[in-house]
Amino acid sequence: MTRHEDKEAAVRRLLDTPHPPVPGDLARRAAERGSRRLHRARRVRRALWILGVIAVAVFFAWASVARPWEVPPAETTPPLEGW
């Protein structure tokens, strides 16, 4: 037998056995868990958006004070030649 046939035979044996009983509140518990995950994902997404907005605001505040696009003033004066 090949490996695929072994797996297929194992699956067939598993499906031929009686299925275990399913708890009656399984759907309710699954819905609650999904709801919690959804709320958690929303909170994380909202926090990331807020952090992003704060980061952009801080960057613009820094850029308005530091003005990185301007050429810095010369540290020394140019030599006086031709006097």
- Averaged pLDDT for residues 3-16: 90
Spatial separation of the C-alpha atoms in residues 25 and 32, rounded to whole Å: 11
Whether this model's pTM surpasses 0.85: no
pLDDT for position 81: 79
With beta carbons less than 8 A apart as the criterion, state whether 59 and 68 touch. no
pLDDT digits (tens, 9 = 90+) for 12-63: 998 898 888 899 999 999 999 999 999 999 999 999 999 999 999 999 999 9
Cα separations (Å) of 44 from 41, 55, 68, 72, 79?
A: 5, 16, 33, 41, 59
- In this predicted model, which residue has the larger pLDDT, 81 or 57? 57
pLDDT at residue 72 is higher than 90: no
